[in-house]
Structure 1
Amino acid sequence: MTDLLIVILLGIVEGVTEFLPVSSTGHLILAGALLGLPEADATFDIVIQLGAILAVVVLFWGRFMIVARGLLRREPQAIAFTRNVLLGFLPAALVGAVAYKAIKAVLEAPVIAPTVVAIALIVGGIAILVIERFAPPSKGGMVEDMSWRTALGVGVLQCLAMIPGVSRSGATIMGARTMGVSRETAAEYSFFLAIPTMLGATALTLWKSRHELSGAHVGSIAIGFVVSFLVAMVVIRWFMSIVAKHGFQPFAWYRIVAGAVALIAIFLH
């Protein structure tokens, strides 16, 4: 298998998993370990996520323009939307800046990271099943209708995603569900929260790794970026339709099965 094909496959993995509550970083770590790809390090894994984030910007462009015009007019709904996204982003920004080296070390550990990912997949799957079963009744409303306490609480829970395999989207969506946010709004909030979170993570990673990047490395990242963007454009729409019909249980069972299979593969390796 050529390096180009492997990079494309990892881009597909990222595009498919970024917005599903199954952990895109965890899947990239497992795929990289399985394929033995040198480029499948923390820098590659984090930066190509930006391609999937760009898909959110494109698909929700109209919504963002409404918010932008509302901010210029000082409309309460636009201000509340922006406040909630920024409050949800703040905890991850602070923790990420302080714990960058520790997080990167875990992501790049050749044995520890895949094992942590597998265990986190299983535990996260069980958590989703429990939350879906006992979540409080939905309060209704959109992202801008969430209270600032709910937004900040979801932001704190998003920090759990710094553990490989936990899933950023899973932590934010399930966190919002425990606070009475509807499935659809929780999913949308996770999409919007991904934009500043991953922009910040990408900027920090590129700056910290600027002396390590080679031309070939940058080329691999660029290809993975484009592939993840194209795939995510399709997956986001599909994800929302699945959530509306079946909730999050299908993803919980997938996590449990995938984590168990990964653990078996790791111990048999």
Structure 2
Amino acid sequence: MDDLVKAVIMGIVEGLTEFLPISSTGHMIVTGKLLDFTGDRAKTFEVVVQLGAVLAVLMLYWKRFMNLLSFNLKKPGLNILHIIIGMFPASVLGLVLHGFIKDYLFGPKTVVVSLIVGGLLLIAAEKIRRRPSAETLDDITYRQALGIGCFQILSLWPGFSRSGSTMAGGMFFGVKKEAAAEFTFLMSVPIMLGASGVDLIKSREFLEWSDTGLFLTGLLASFVVAMIAIVTFLNLLKRISLTWFAYYRFVLAAVVFFVLL
């Protein structure tokens, strides 16, 4: 199969799964194995293609980002400090553990375990969630932002899911799941930009200019699909429980186990 076709497929998978609590990284690893798209270049592609999803968030929430960039901490509601607090725990640990994560946690075996554990977390969040004290983004407190950020640490384990861990954390801390999802979208932008930048710098030794077309193709596919996925997911959250996503994770874990292991 041509590499550009693989890039389109991988981009679609990334855009579709990045903001769902089912682990985009887990899906990318599995898809890469099935497409025989592996190695150092593929690992970097899996990180950089997330920029397409980042652009989708920026496009859909550009007004919110413009307000955040005003750095007005006295204005009621969500501000840039909420985002900084939320992204701080996972950002620090991500930088410290970057090499370990790429060398030891990117693989089908670790993904199977994280899919199951992450699914159990979603079920627990639905079962023991508190009555929401934060109905919207602007109701989220600094304490809740920090709590969500601490849960985001779990997403450093490939297969766990950033949106799954943060939404569950938000529900444990009294944030309505739709608001927690949107906070995740906003918080993911600087984190994913940083992760992609660090990965590109550390991977410059084995990347070539000829890879540019491959990366841009995947990024574009990811952007288009993520635009659709974000809007669809937020509407879906109003109708269904996170438990259904947990069941999907269990099925996917079984598929990964029997097909790839």
TM-score, L = length of structure 1: 0.91
1:163–1:170 distance in 2 versus 1, CA, 3 Å: same
* Counterpart residue number, 2:94: 96
Structure 2 CA distance, aligned partners of 1:126 and 1:54? 31
Which ranges of structure 1 fall in alignment gaps of 5 or more residues? none
Deviates more, 1:116-125 or 1:196-205: 116-125
135, 139, 154: which one pairs with 2:133? 139
Q: Deviations over 1:84-126 (max 9, x none)?
A: 1111111122111111111111255xxxx11111221122112
- Give the AA of the match of 1:52: A
* Counterpart residue number, 1:193: 187
Question: 2:106 matched to 1:105?
Answer: no
* Counterpart residue number, 1:249: 243
TM-score, L = length of structure 2: 0.94
- Give the AA of the match of 2:13: V
1:81–1:144 distance in 2 versus 1, CA, 3 Å: farther
Structure 1 CA distance, aligned partners of 2:105 and 2:198? 15
* Counterpart residue number, 2:146: 152
Residue 195 (structure 1) shift: 0.5
Corresponding residue pairs, total: 260
Contact 2:26/2:158 (8 A) holds in 1: yes
Residue 81 (structure 1) shift: 2.1
Structure 1 CA distance, aligned partners of 2:161 and 2:38? 23
Contact 2:130/2:171 (8 A) holds in 1: yes
- Give the AA of the match of 1:161: S
Contact 1:183/1:247 (8 A) holds in 2: no
Structure 1 CA distance, aligned partners of 2:222 and 2:159? 19
* Counterpart residue number, 1:41: 42
Structure 1 CA distance, aligned partners of 2:170 and 2:42? 31
1:4–1:107 distance in 2 versus 1, CA, 3 Å: farther
User: What RMSD in Å do the two structures reach over aligned CA positions?
Assistant: 1.7
* Counterpart residue number, 2:82: 84
